[in-house]
C-alpha cells in the first residue's frame, strides 16, 4: 500500500501536524484549475516556495478521458521502447569495442616488449604463436601446424620455427633440407608481418578508440531523447482506483490527487533583531555555530472528484475538491530523511528503467572506458587524486554513485522515527518559533482562500 505524504512525514519524524484544516468545495460547473492555482500562487506570495510531491489521476474505464489518455500513453511507451532498443544496441557495441581494445592492447604490449632486451625472447615467441594461429593457419594443409601434426617427417617444424629468428639461424640447425626450405620463407614472412602488423594494429587501435568515443556520445544522445518519452509515459500512467466507490466503470468520472509542500526557513537574525530571540543570537559567531536549518512547512493535499468534458483545447474538469492544509515544524535533517523516504516509495518513481539499462554495465566498464577515452596525462592525474565517487558516464543519465562509506553508513542507520537531539536554544526558541509559524501559516492559507471566495471565515 502506498503511503501518503502525511503518513511518510509522521513515520519519519514521529510527529503529527501542528495544525490541520479541511475545506470541501463542490461545484460541477466550475473547473478545478482555479482552486489549485489560487492556493499555489498564495503560497508563493507567502514565500513558501512550494514543490509538487504527488500528481496522480485515475479515470473510469468507460469514459472518453480514459481512452484518450491510454492512447497518448501508448504512443509515448512505443517511442520510449524504440529508443531503449537503440540504447541496448549501442551498449552492446560499446561492450564489443572494449573487448577488442583490450585484446589490441595485449598484442601491442608484445610489440613494445620486442624493444626490451630482457623481454624480447618471450615477446618474440608470443608473436610467433600468434602468427601461426592467425596468419599461417590460412594456408590450410601447407601451414606449419598442419604439416607438423599431420604429416610424417615434419614433427620438428614447430619447434624449429620457434627457435630461429632469421634465415642465417636456419642453416646452423641440424635439420633436413626439406624442413629448412619450408622454414626460410616462413621466417621471412613472419619478420615482414611483425614490421607491418605493428603499424596497422596501432592504426586500428586508434580508430576503435575514436569509434568508442562516438558510441559513448551516441549513448548520451539516445538517453536524452528517451527520457522525455519515458517520463511522459510514466506521467500518463493511471493509479489504481481499487475499491473506491466514486470510480464506477461506466460513469464519466475522474479522480485526481495532488500534494504540494511549501517551506520557509527560520530567520534567526531577523527574529533576534525583532526582539523575539536574545540579542546575541544575531551575532556572526553564534550564527556560524548553528549548523542545522529550521523550517515552518505547509502541506496541502488536494483530492478532486470531477466529471471531465472534452473541449477543443482539451479536457475541462469540474466537480468536488477536498483540500487539507497541514502545518509542520521540520528541521533540515528531517526534511532530508523525508525526501530519502520519498525516493524509496512509489510516489517518486523516476526514470529507473533507463538507469537500469545503462548503470550496471557502465559501472562495470568504468575504468576501461576512462582509460581508452582520456589522455594518458589526465588519467595519471586522476589516479593520483584517487577520486572515489561519481562516474562521468553515469552522470550522463542523471546517475551519481555514492562512495562505499556512504552506502555502509546508510545500512547502519537505525529504522524508526528520527529523534531530535536538541540544544537549549533550539528547545527554548527555535522549535517553538517554527511550530507557531507553521500553525499560523497553515491557518492563514486556509482562511485567505475562504475569504477570497466569499466563504464564512473568522474576522482578523
Q: Is the dihedral of CA 126, 130, 133, 135 positive or negative?
A: negative
* Segment (H or E) for 58: strand 51-59
Q: How confident is the model at residue 255 (pLDDT cuts 50, 70, 90)?
A: confident
Instruction: Dig out the grid coordinates for 57 from the structure.
Output: 489521476
Query: For 105, what's the count of Cα atoms within 13 Å in the CB-facing half-sphere?
Result: 11
Average pLDDT, stretch 187-205? 87
Contact by Cβ (8 Å): 154, 179: yes
**pLDDT, tens digit, for every residue of 83-123?**
888 888 888 888 888 888 888 888 888 888 888 888 888 88
pLDDT in tens, 9-36: 888 888 889 999 999 888 777 778 888 8
CA atoms within 13 A on the CB side of 336: 7
The mean-pLDDT minimum among 348-362, 385-399, 410-424 falls in 385-399
Q: Any residues with CB less than 8 A from the CB of 239 and at least 6 apart, and which?
A: 56, 57, 58, 257
- Cell 607491418 sits at which residue? 196
Query: pLDDT-based confidence at 129, cuts 50/70/90?
Result: confident
Burial class of residue 240 (count of CB atoms within 10 Å of its CB; 0-12, 13-18, 19+):
exposed
Q: 3-state SS of 384-418?
A: HHCCCCCCCCCHHHCCCCCCHHHHHHHHHCCCCCC
Which helix (H) or strand (E) covers residue 258, if one does? strand 254-265
Rounded CA-CA distance 238/57 in Å is 6
Pairing of strands 294-310, 315-331: antiparallel
The answer, as to whether pTM is greater than 0.75, is: no
Tell me what pLDDT residue 25 has: 82
Q: Distance between CA 120 and CA 114 in Å, rounded?
A: 4
How far, CA to CA in Å, does 356 sit from each of 79, 353, 455?
A: 18, 5, 51
Higher pLDDT, 401 or 331: 331
3-state secondary structure of 184: helix
pLDDT, tens digit (0-9, with 9 covering 90-100), for 297-309: 999 999 888 777 7
Grid cell at residue 433? 518559533
Burial group, residue 416, by CB count within 10 angstroms (0-12, 13-18, 19+) = exposed
Q: CB atoms < 10 A from the CB of 314, how many?
A: 9
Three-state helix/strand/coil letters over 2-29:
CCCHHHHHHHHHCCCCCEEEEEEEEEEE
Amino acid at each position: 500500500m502506498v503511503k501518503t505524504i502525511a503518513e511518510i512525514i509522521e513515520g519519519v519524524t514521529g510527529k503529527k501536524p501542528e495544525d490541520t484544516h479541511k475545506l470541501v468545495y463542490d461545484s460541477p460547473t466550475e473547473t478545478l484549475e482555479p482552486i489549485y492555482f489560487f492556493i499555489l500562487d498564495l503560497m508563493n506570495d507567502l514565500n513558501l516556495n512550494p514543490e509538487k510531491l504527488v500528481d496522480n489521476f485515475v479515470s473510469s474505464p468507460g469514459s472518453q478521458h480514459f481512452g484518450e489518455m491510454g492512447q497518448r500513453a501508448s504512443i509515448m511507451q512505443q517511442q520510449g521502447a524504440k529508443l531503449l532498443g537503440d540504447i541496448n544496441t549501442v551498449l552492446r557495441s560499446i561492450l564489443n569495442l572494449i573487448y577488442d581494445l583490450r585484446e589490441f592492447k595485449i598484442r601491442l604490449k608484445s610489440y613494445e616488449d620486442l624493444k626490451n632486451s630482457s623481454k624480447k625472447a618471450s615477446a618474440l615467441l608470443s608473436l610467433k604463436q600468434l602468427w601461426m594461429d592467425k596468419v599461417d593457419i590460412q594456408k590450410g594443409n601447407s601451414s606449419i601446424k598442419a604439416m607438423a601434426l599431420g604429416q610424417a617427417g615434419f614433427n620438428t617444424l614447430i619447434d624449429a620455427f620457434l627457435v630461429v629468428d632469421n634465415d642465417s639461424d636456419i642453416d646452423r640447425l641440424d635439420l633436413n633440407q626439406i624442413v629448412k626450405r619450408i622454414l626460410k620463407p616462413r621466417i621471412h614472412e613472419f619478420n615482414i608481418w611483425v614490421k607491418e602488423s605493428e603499424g596497422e594494429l596501432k592504426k586500428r587501435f586508434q580508430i576503435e578508440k575514436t569509434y568508442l568515443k562516438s558510441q559513448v556520445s551516441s549513448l548520451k544522445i539516445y538517453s536524452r531523447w528517451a527520457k522525455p518519452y519515458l517520463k511522459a509515459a510514466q506521467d500518463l500512467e493511471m493509479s489504481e482506483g481499487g475499491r473506491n466507490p466514486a470510480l464506477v466503470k461506466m460513469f464519466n468520472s475522474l479522480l485526481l490527487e495532488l500534494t504540494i509542500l511549501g517551506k520557509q526557513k527560520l530567520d534567526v537574525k531577523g527574529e533576534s533583531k525583532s526582539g523575539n530571540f536574545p540579542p546575541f543570537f544575531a551575532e556572526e559567531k553564534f550564527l556560524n555555530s548553528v549548523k542545522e536549518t529550521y523550517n515552518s512547512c505547509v502541506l496541502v493535499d488536494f483530492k478532486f472528484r470531477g466529471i471531465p468534458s472534452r473541449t477543443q483545447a482539451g479536457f475541462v474538469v469540474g466537480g468536488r475538491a477536498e483540500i487539507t492544509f497541514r502545518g509542520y515544524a521540520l528541521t533540515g535533517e528531517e526534511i532530508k530523511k523525508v525526501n530519502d523516504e520519498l525516493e524509496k516509495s512509489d510516489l517518486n518513481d523516476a526514470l529507473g528503467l533507463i538507469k537500469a539499462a545503462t548503470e550496471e554495465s557502465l559501472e562495470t566498464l568504468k575504468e576501461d572506458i576512462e582509460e581508452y577515452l582520456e589522455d594518458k596525462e589526465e588519467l595519471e592525474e586522476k589516479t593520483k587524486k584517487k577520486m572515489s565517487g561519481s562516474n562521468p558516464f553515469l552522470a550522463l543519465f542523471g546517475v551519481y554513485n555514492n562512495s562505499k562509506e556512504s552506502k555502509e553508513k546508510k545500512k547502519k542507520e537505525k529504522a524508526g522515527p528520527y529523534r531530535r537531539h536538541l540544544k537549549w536554544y533550539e528547545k527554548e526558541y527555535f522549535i517553538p518559533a517554527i511550530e507557531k509559524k507553521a500553525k499560523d501559516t497553515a491557518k492563514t492559507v486556509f482562511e485567505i482562500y475562504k475569504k477570497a471566495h466569499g466563504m464564512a471565515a473568522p474576522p482578523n
